[in-house]
Structures are given as C-alpha cells and as structure tokens.
Amino acid sequence: MTTALLPTPPAPTGVGEPDTGTVDQQAPASRPGLSLRWSMPLLRLVAVGLLAAGAAIVAWTILPLAWGWSSAVIVSGSMSPQVHRGDVVVTSPPAADWRPAVGQVVTVPDQTHPGQTVTHRVVGFDEQGRLMTRGDANGSDDAFRTAPEQVRGIARLLVPRIGLATLLLREGHPALFVAQSAAVLGVLALALRLPVLPLRPLAAMRRRAA
C-alpha cells in the first residue's frame, strides 16, 4: 500500500529574525492641485500686468480731458491704415495763434451730416484759405471746406481699438462687449487673488467628509 507524501510545512520564522521577504513600495499619489498652485502666481502676475496696461490706456484717454482736450471714437475706416474703426482719437482745441498745416489731422464739423464731426487730414487750402480735408483711405477730398476758426480739435493721441466694443454695442452687436467685460472681470479676479479651490483626489475628499 502506498501513501502520498504531503509537502513539508515551512519552518516558523524565529522571533527577532529579519524578514527577508520583499515588500511592494508604492509611489506617493500625485497631487493634481500642485500644478494649479504653481501656475496661479504666474497667472496673477500676468493679470496684474494686463490691468496695469489697461489702466494706462484708460488714463491716456481720460486724463487729457482735464486739460480741456476731448476724445472721440472713430466710426469708419476712412483714415485707415493709420487710424482704424474703433480707435479713440484725443484732440486738443486749437490755440489762438494756431496755423493749420498740410498733413495735420483735425476734427471739423461734418457739413454733409449736420451735428456730426469728422476727423480727417489737411491736404491743402482753397483760394479763401479754407482747409481742404480728406480721409487717408478716400480717393477724393471732402465735399466741403472748413474755415480755420471752425476746427474743433487737433489730433494729439491715438488709442487703438479701445472703443470698438462700445461701438459695436451701440450698433446692436453686443457679443464683443460682453466678451470684453467678462475678460476684464476674470483678470480683475486673478489680480485681487480671489481664493481658488485646489483640485483634490475624490478619495481624499471622502476621507475628510468622514
């Protein structure tokens, strides 16, 4: 009669003997919030720079008004490529001894549209000394002539595109105005260092809730 040999059980490990078995080591879980924490200071720095640039543009547009200057949004492309639709032109009133010269950009009453003004370049004078004006993109002079004392302003500063969103809103196209407003609010929120919730693993959030 034969009997099957049973496997010999392993000898018990003595107390105090070092355990020679291998232990699986797991790398620490990555922290999704880490990249966000490092990127937020950079984003805030960019936001502060954008706000500073925007404040400078607004200052150049508004502060001259305290000196009696005026500003107007360009509503057409007649002065392109140097002046575009949506640009803001800041003008100063002519001095008492001002003498117009060819090449100057001036704001004069638009005699073809009463109550409006036009900002064009002086291109010459007629026999009576009146100004002949023309838009840089136009192929002919303006149909009217302007006496020097009728000039409303002399162009001094050009602020590009700052009035485009407001102009489109006034014309019934609010998309750009809404987008610009949302962008300004977002930049302002970053610059003011509003609290941002860090991204955390779902398991960690559950442990905290427990």
Tell me the mean pLDDT in the region 22-32. 52
Nearest-angstrom CA–CA distance, 148 and 122: 11
Which one, of 154, 96, 103, lies nearest residue 133 by Cα?
Answer: 103
pLDDT attached to residue 107: 97
Read off the pTM.
0.59
Looking at the predicted structure, is the pLDDT value of residue 136 above 80? yes
Q: How confident is the model at residue 50 (pLDDT cuts 50, 70, 90)?
A: low
Which one, of 166, 188, 163, 187, lies nearest residue 177 by Cα?
Answer: 166
Count the Cβ atoms, other than its own, within 10 Å of residue 97: 5
The angle formed by the CA atoms of residues 37, 32 and 185, to the nearest 5 degrees, is 50
Q: How confident is the model at residue 175 (pLDDT cuts 50, 70, 90)?
A: confident
Please measure the distance between the N-terminal and C-terminal CA atoms of the chain and give it in whole angstroms: 64
DSSP assignment of 34-65 = HHHHHHHHHHHHHHHHHHHHHHHHHHHHHGGG
Averaged pLDDT of the chain = 76
DSSP assignment of 162-196 = TTHHHHHHHTT--HHHHHHHHHHHHHHHHHTT---
Nearest-angstrom CA–CA distance, 71 and 9: 97
pLDDT digits (tens, 9 = 90+) for 63-120: 777 788 888 889 999 999 999 999 999 999 999 999 999 999 999 999 999 999 999 9
Nearest-angstrom CA–CA distance, 202 and 205: 5
Q: How confident is the model at residue 143 (pLDDT cuts 50, 70, 90)?
A: very high
Which one, of 209, 204, 199, lies nearest residue 28 by Cα?
Answer: 204
Which one, of 139, 149, 145, lies nearest residue 122 by Cα?
Answer: 145
CB-side neighbour CA atoms (13 Å) of 111: 10
Tell me the mean pLDDT in the region 178-186. 74
